[in-house]
Amino acid sequence: MAVDMKGKDVISIHDLSREEVEQVIDTAHILKMKNKLGEIYHPLQGKTLGMIFQKSSTRTRVSFEVGMWQLGGYALFLSANDMQLKRGETIADTARNLSRYLDGIMIRTFDHQDVVDLAQYGSIPVINGLTDLLHPCQVLADLFTISEKKGRLEGIKLAYIGDGNNMAHSLMFGGAKMGMHVVICSPSGFEPDPEVIRLSRLDAAKSGASINVQDDPAEAVKGADIIYTDVWTSMGMEKEYEERLKSFQRYQVNGALLEKAREDVLVMHCLPAHRGEEITDDVIDGTRSIVFDQAENRLHVQKAILALVI
């Protein structure tokens, strides 16, 4: 291994070195090949991952649970309804208790500070499965997918069209770390967090990447190798649905928008997709879409993370 990541928390890509991101991608490639060849590989025999879910999930739960099993370990599903987390017991006490039982924790929740606190007070690796601020595991899988499809990351232009949300934040951190050119295109009032922009530009200055934020989709996708989108209304924002539907009308990824990008542009979406809103059926099901390859790679990258940190 190029770098030793044993015991490391995975909370934000900004906290990882470029070498650590590369290590995750390289390990994912090896584990994917072993999986396709039917090789049994059990580096986590006898290890247990606690999976805390305060947000519902399809891909995160299935990929982590299956991944842990394929690595020889056991994944324990912990619903927020079944735990005392923040219902009389502090995050600190929960972290100290779980550290006595488990070898790692994956948490999918609303408040980013909950993940930070779990890592601070626990003595085992904590993996951020999603917060309202960041979605690092998804973007590590996205970086792996882009490297598979394009053969490189450095110099790739990725145009993200949509809400300046947790996906936009982690794409900025991931792209900045790996020398990519990331354009976040959001309507006024829905731009990414200014502190995330600032931190990602610090990383970009070291890697030769660029981070830009603008509001014109047609301009944003010019020269793009990748067009990326996400739902306009994330979990917990359902009351804003009608307002957001109006604000994002110009931000649909459709055939007309693809024509303004490179001829070999590829389309990505972290899923679930609200078809007919942020993306059209002909695009997500079309020849330029790598959405379901991207979804599969959640399994391989999360296995890499688990094998590296536990």
Q: Given 270, 288, 300, 302, which residue is catalytic? A: 270
**204-224 exposure pattern, b = at least 16 Cβ within 10 A, e = fewer:** beebebbbebebebeebbeeb
Q: Given 169, 230, 252, 300, which residue is catalytic? A: 230
Told to judge if 108 belongs to the known catalytic residues of this protein, a careful annotator would answer yes
Told to judge if 215 belongs to the known catalytic residues of this protein, a careful annotator would answer no
Told to judge if 274 belongs to the known catalytic residues of this protein, a careful annotator would answer no
Told to judge if 54 belongs to the known catalytic residues of this protein, a careful annotator would answer no
Q: Given 23, 54, 70, 138, which residue is catalytic? A: 138
Q: CA triplet 109, 247, 180: central angle to 5 degrees?
A: 65
Q: Given 59, 169, 288, 298, which residue is catalytic? A: 298
According to DSSP, the residues that pair with 85 across neighbouring strands are 89
In Å, what is the CA distance from 263 to each residue of 257, 258, 282?
12, 8, 16
Told to judge if 270 belongs to the known catalytic residues of this protein, a careful annotator would answer yes
167 phi and psi angles, rounded to 5 deg? -65, -45
Spatial contact of 284 and 273, defined as CB atoms under 8 Å apart = yes
Q: Over the Cα atoms of the chain, what is R_g?
A: 19
Q: Given 108, 181, 244, 300, which residue is catalytic? A: 108
**How buried is 61 (Cβ within 10 angstroms: 0-12 exposed, 13-18 middle, 19+ buried)?**
middle
Residues 231 and 148: their CA atoms lie apart, in Å, by: 25
Q: Given 112, 135, 244, 288, which residue is catalytic? A: 135
Told to judge if 112 belongs to the known catalytic residues of this protein, a careful annotator would answer no
Query: How many other CB atoms are there within 10 angstroms of residue 147's CB atom?
Result: 19
Residues 119 and 267: their CA atoms lie apart, in Å, by: 34
According to DSSP, the residues that pair with 161 across neighbouring strands are 185, 229
Taking each helix axis from N to C end, the angle separating 59-70 and 291-309, rounded to the nearest 10 degrees, works out to: 50
Catalytic residue numbers? Answer: 108, 135, 138, 230, 270, 298
